Amino acid sequence: MSTERDNTVPSDEPLTPESMAAGWAAMPDIVEEDGEQEGGTDRLMSQDEIDTMLGFSSGDDGSSRNGIQAIVDSGSVAYERLPMLEIIFERLVRLLSTSLRNFFTDNVEVTLESIRSVRFGDYVNSISQPALLSVFKAEEWDNFGLITIESALIYSVLDAMFGGKRGQPAPRIDGRPFTSIEIRMVRRVIELVLGDAEAAFRPLSPVRFTVDRVESNPRFVSISRPANAAIRVELKFDMEGRGGALHLLLPYATIEPIRELLLESFMGEKLGRDPIWENHLATEVWQADVDVTCVLHETRMPLKRVMKLEIGDTLMFDARPDSIVSLRCGDFIVSEGRIGRVDDKIAVQVVSPLRRSKTTLAAFDSLASHLGATT
């Protein structure tokens, strides 16, 4: 005990950075049973600890993240939350394969490489030059999107359109901007892609895409804030040895008007109909019994007066014997009439036609289709 007291800093001396450092240096290191040094400053982290800190532990099954990986994942939006998008882009690939074969009169293979959620600013900064960027507008959604064509695909398209040989990579000329003729040729391909994109979205939501402008500098395509999330679709074109990549970028603000439709798992949730079920429901609704109430008069009074009502009190109606009364079914007014007597029974004579706006066959068909889709 005396030896340990000699090695420590006396308690009556003022604490200074030098004395604190000397005290820490004099403390003995804690050694575990396996001989690993715990308390020293030279301790090295094991590989498992490094993986856990970064969020890539060996036992991670992808369901939970921690460390730096959790921070990175929290800043992105997974496109899997909109399952209908993958169906639409698969349809776009099939349409493009046919359209491009007819356009180039050559064998063109289009594949869907990936669908990812990115930040708009990160994507623009990652575009490699030279490239052509086309800003297009979705008329019905009142917002913009972006198509990026890499240089390899640009030269392959130009080589195929100007009669280049098959099976050879297109020559690449660096150090010069694209000419107006080259931009016009590539614009025709962009319009073809947008036309097929309209056809791919048509079963879900009709939309028209129009080319707004074509730029070669990423700084001139600011269609969204850098921190906003967007969906990047990468398409790979292969024309017998020639080809490249095309990126279709849709900010989340652009597809917000059809977000509810994109949340569906399949198009049958909206478009599926069962005529047998619809006819059966309409028949049963027409044969259903409903209660019709005849309202002689309505009045408003304070709650204080209502609470003071007693047995024998009289309420005066501001109505005459020939006044019009309303016929109601629940909260809806069905018709109007005059009250009278037939033999020993109270009767109501209908004086206005039935209000059939909410009881037409079209409403029944709409109700039946809605119930059929939800079931």
What is the reported pLDDT for 4?
A: 45
Residue 8 has pLDDT above 50, yes or no: no
Mean pLDDT of the chain: 76
Domain boundary among 51, 74, 97: 74
Residue 33 has pLDDT above 80, yes or no: no
pLDDT confidence of residue 280: 86
Which alpha helices (H) appear in the chain, and where do they start and end? 2-7, 17-26, 47-54, 67-74, 84-104, 120-126, 151-161, 180-201, 259-262, 268-271, 275-286, 303-307, 361-374
Which token pair is 308?
A: 């003071």
102 and 213 part of one domain: yes
pTM over 0.75: no
Query: What is the distance between the alpha carbons of residues 336 and 339, in angstroms, rounded to a whole number?
Result: 10
pLDDT (tens digit per residue) in 111-170 = 888 888 888 888 888 888 888 899 999 888 889 999 999 888 888 888 888 776 666 665
Classify the C-alpha dihedral 303-304-310-314 as positive or negative. negative
Range of the domain at 62: 2-74
Cα-based distances in Å from 177 to 126, 135, 174, 256:
19, 19, 8, 36
Residues 167 and 284 in one domain: no
Q: Distance between CA atoms of 198 and 218, rounded to whole angstroms?
A: 25
pLDDT of residue 324: 85
Number of domains in the chain: 3
Q: At what angle do helices 47-54 and 67-74 cross, to 10 degrees?
A: 20
* Co-location of 136 and 253 in the same domain: yes
Q: Which of 47, 74, 101 is the last residue of a domain?
A: 74
Look at residue 258 and tell me whether its pLDDT is greater than 80. yes
Q: Are residues 112 and 219 in the same domain?
A: yes
CATH value at residue 280: 2.30.330.10
Q: Which of 7-11, 41-45, 309-313 has the highest mean pLDDT?
A: 309-313
- Mean pLDDT of the region 324-329: 86
Of the given ranges (49-63, 114-128, 186-200, 246-260), which has the lowest mean pLDDT? 49-63
Backbone angles phi, psi at 50, to 5 degrees: -65, -45
**Which CATH number does the domain housing residue 108 bear?**
3.40.1550.10
